Chain A
């Protein structure tokens, strides 16, 4: 589904990603872990199409097509979803209107008719229950006045509504209490199917108790320095990122 080859990216002349290689197949959950400043969020932003970076080299194929050539909305319509680390507030735009526009854009892209109002509201109710987000939130403007936890739940709610093929969750767990964490994890697990994939970007191992990854990658200083199964996350938790640092020196 996603094949990243030797991706090098810089911002204002400083190289942030120094040759990333990663392959994600349908049905898989990948966790990308790493200390602050290792390039995790940059990787997520590049995949979503943020254009403040310079791409120096490398290729990214998504469903067999060149991803980097596409606009952010084309990528989204092709089923790529980014759960934002810091979700953006859009005053005056209701969640209902926002989601309806987004869903219908994607349906249009797939050659489907727009959802009727009743179908849409039914879907909204279902997904709302899934992430235990209250109606008072979905009746408000997008993220406006939401608490940190509510914003993160709202990202998962949007993911559930849009049913992406590839979801990238950028530190969705940061700032969440255990209950919220469980809800977020349930949202992710619920979406899991043989046809789609998830990349969970996280600083802590904690989330991975609820979302069990098939693969764990350690991103350090712009490179994936270690990949392994879910046990790698535990090892990392036990030894800390210092361990990777010393490992890297040995590389």
Chain B
């Protein structure tokens, strides 16, 4: 028995993070440190137009006046911002015949991550923008999408090819003054995805961005902008991984979504950044500002997130419900194990009449981790008949972890109806034994319970990803009970 247990334990501890490998590829990196020259250098490397550099410098100068936010229920070790590299790009070594070709080594990297970049090999119906460290490596299905008038490209390209759109929308949802990390990102952001769906177009495939951090000591600061014009529809997916390293790495991203009249945008994230080892060494610090605005009447924005990775997660995908009859949704599963910390939730700001929002948050804590839900529901004066329903559930595995809920509710309109429900439960030994007695192993029993618990959220993901997310949840929790 003892031997067997040791063996299982061994397997679990060695096999815990599947994407921890490192690609040994030449990197074009700048020196560590952050100052105005670095900001200028990034802009120059990306051959950006003047307006971008100005935007970056304004953001940088503003950032200098700001302080790191301390309100989250997180213990964040002091971060030396001079000790990080702010730009690092893999150098494509092989001689390429066309601009569309990608260095085989990079292709291999993304293959290993389960993201083939050759269009014919890819999951049908999913277009991918693959981002490694500071640059976009390849965006698939661009031409096919362009025929419908859809723009799907890396942010860097958008800056050059569609400067007017970028100028019009960048910073319109998350201004650089918004918060500390938004200012930092606005100053040094490197790449990300840009997506524009014209009036009346229903995007026929899932669009996705895959973020990979590869280089050491390097932060990833990406920016994604999605604009959905009147009566358009798009479903967007984001995935992320990083190698296992002993040092903490920074990731501070911004995602902005603009939904015009009757547009619908679904944004899903399966976040699997390296969480650090069992003792809490290493892992990604993930400070992300994601916000969408339902600008036009009858528009809808839906956030779905499955958060399994990162040493620290600080993230609140939000909706500003400005138009009338708009809908904001937030579905979240956040898992923390070992020494991970997560402070995550959402903000729903009701401005338009009959605006509705729904929040379903499922936290799972194991090991000695801490998992907090932080959510704000704010109803402004003019938001007649605004309606919100929030459900915040916490599941504890073992007795050394913590789960916390911090709801903030403000209403300035008497006709608003706001509901908040919260539960906390625990996977007990009794439940495990009951399953065991019916022939179900402990691992499978935890799987059943976790799947049941997270079903409501995972059902919101496109099917292939729901299956992946389910597996990922179980891998993240392996060895946490028993």
Cβ-closest chain B residue relative to A83: B437
The verdict on A101 contacting B452 (CB below 8 Å), with A87-B434, A88-B430, A88-B434 known, is: no
Q: A88 to B429, alpha carbons, bound, how many Å?
A: 10
Q: Which of A100-122 contact B (CB under 8 A)?
A: 101-102, 105-106, 109
Cross-chain contact of A102 among B425, B439, B449 (Cβ < 8 A): B439
- Count residues on chain A whose CB falls below 8 Å from chain B CBs: 31
1/0 per residue A56-94: CB within 8 Å of B?
000000000000000111011100011010011111111
Contact of A198 with B by CB under 8 A: no
Instruction: Enumerate chain B residues within 8 angstroms of A71, measured Cβ to Cβ.
Output: 436
Decide yes or no whether B435 CB sits under 8 A from chain A.
yes
Complex contact B448–A101 (CB within 8 A): yes
Residue in chain A with minimal CB distance to B444: A101
Decide yes or no: A92 and B439 within 8 Å by CB, A72-B433, A105-B444 being known contacts.
no
**Is B169 positioned at the interface, with any CB of A under 8 Å from its CB?**
no
B residues 442-468 in Cβ contact with A at 8 Å: 442, 444, 448-449, 451-453, 455
A93–B395 alpha-carbon span in the complex (Å): 14
- Interface residues in B46-60 by Cβ distance below 8 A to A read none
| Least Cβ–Cβ distance between A73 and chain B, in angstroms | 5
Say if the beta carbon of A29 comes within 8 Å of chain B.
no
Least distance between B99 CB and chain A CB atoms (Å): 50
Chain A neighbourhood of B434, CB < 8 A:
84, 87-88, 90, 142
B430 touches A158 (CB 8 A): no
- Contact across chains for B444 and A50 when beta carbons are under 8 A apart: no
> Which chain A positions have C-beta within 8 A of B444?
101, 105
**B436 x A92 contact (CB < 8 A):** no
Contact partner of B438 among A89, A94, A102, CB < 8 A? A102
How many residues of B are counted as interface, with CB atoms below 8 angstroms from the partner's CB atoms? 21
A98 is an interface residue with CB less than 8 A from chain B: yes
Contact of A98 among B428, B430, B442, B448 (CB under 8 A): B448
Q: Secondary structure at chain B's binding surface: helix, strand, loop or mixed? A: helix
A106/B439 in contact, CB under 8 A: yes
A49 CB–B CB distance under 8 Å: yes
Nearest chain-B residue to A102 (Cβ)? B438
Which of A50, A77, A84, A94 is within 8 Å of B452, CB to CB? A94
B10: Cβ under 8 A from any A Cβ:
no
Interfacial chain B residues near A102, Cβ < 8 Å: 435, 438-440
Q: B7 in the interface, Cβ–Cβ < 8 Å?
A: no
Of chain B, the residue at the smallest CB distance from A93 is: B452
B111 at the interface (CB under 8 A from A): no
Q: Nearest B residue to A51 by beta-carbon distance?
A: B433
- Bound Cα distance A101, B402 (Å): 30
**Closest B residue by C-beta to A84:** B434
In the complex, A158→B440 CA distance in Å? 13
A105 touches B440 (CB 8 A): yes
| Given A88-B430, A88-B431, A105-B444, residue A93 in contact with residue B437 (CB < 8 A) | no
> Please, which residues of chain A bring their CB within 8 A of the CB of B439?
73, 76-77, 102, 105-106, 109, 162
A158→B438 contact, CB < 8 A:
yes
A81 / chain B contacts, CB cutoff of 8 Å:
437
Q: A73: nearest residue on chain B (CB-CB)? A: B436
Q: Are B441 and A73 in contact (CB under 8 A)?
A: yes
* Complex contacts, B437 vs chain A, CB 8 Å: 48-49, 72-73, 75-76, 81-82, 84
* Complex Cα spacing A53 to B115, Å: 50
**What residue in chain B is nearest A70 (Cβ atoms)?**
B1
A141: Cβ under 8 A from any B Cβ: yes
Chain B residues whose C-beta falls within 8 Å of the C-beta of A105 in the assembled complex: 438-441, 444
Query: A90 with B435: in contact, given A101-B444, A105-B444 (CB under 8 Å)?
Result: yes
In the complex, which residues of chain B have a beta carbon less than 8 angstroms from the beta carbon of A162?
438-439
Return the chain A residue nearest B455 by Cβ: A92
Q: Are the C-beta atoms of B449 and A92 separated by less than 8 Å? A: yes
Which residue of the partner chain A has the closest CB to B430?
A88
CA separation between A106 and B433, bound complex, in Å?
A: 16
Distance in Å: Cβ of B304 to nearest Cβ of chain A: 18
Taking CB atoms, residues of chain B closer than 8 Å to A93 are 448-449, 451-452
27 pairs from A and B in contact (CB 8 Å cutoff)? A72-B436, A72-B437, A73-B437, A73-B440, A73-B441, A73-B442, A76-B437, A76-B439, A77-B439, A81-B437, A87-B434, A88-B428, A88-B433, A90-B448, A91-B453, A92-B449, A92-B451, A93-B448, A97-B452, A98-B435, A98-B440, A102-B438, A102-B439, A105-B441, A106-B439, A109-B439, A162-B438
Which of A's residues lie within 8 Å of B, judged by CB? 48-50, 71-73, 75-77, 81-82, 84, 87-94, 97-98, 101-102, 105-106, 109, 141-142, 158, 162
Which positions in B face A, CB cutoff 8 Å?
Answer: 425, 428, 430-431, 433-442, 444, 448-449, 451-453, 455
A50-B433, A90-B452, A105-B439 provided; 11 other pairs, C-beta below 8 A? A49-B437, A73-B440, A73-B441, A76-B438, A91-B425, A92-B451, A92-B455, A101-B440, A105-B438, A105-B440, A142-B434
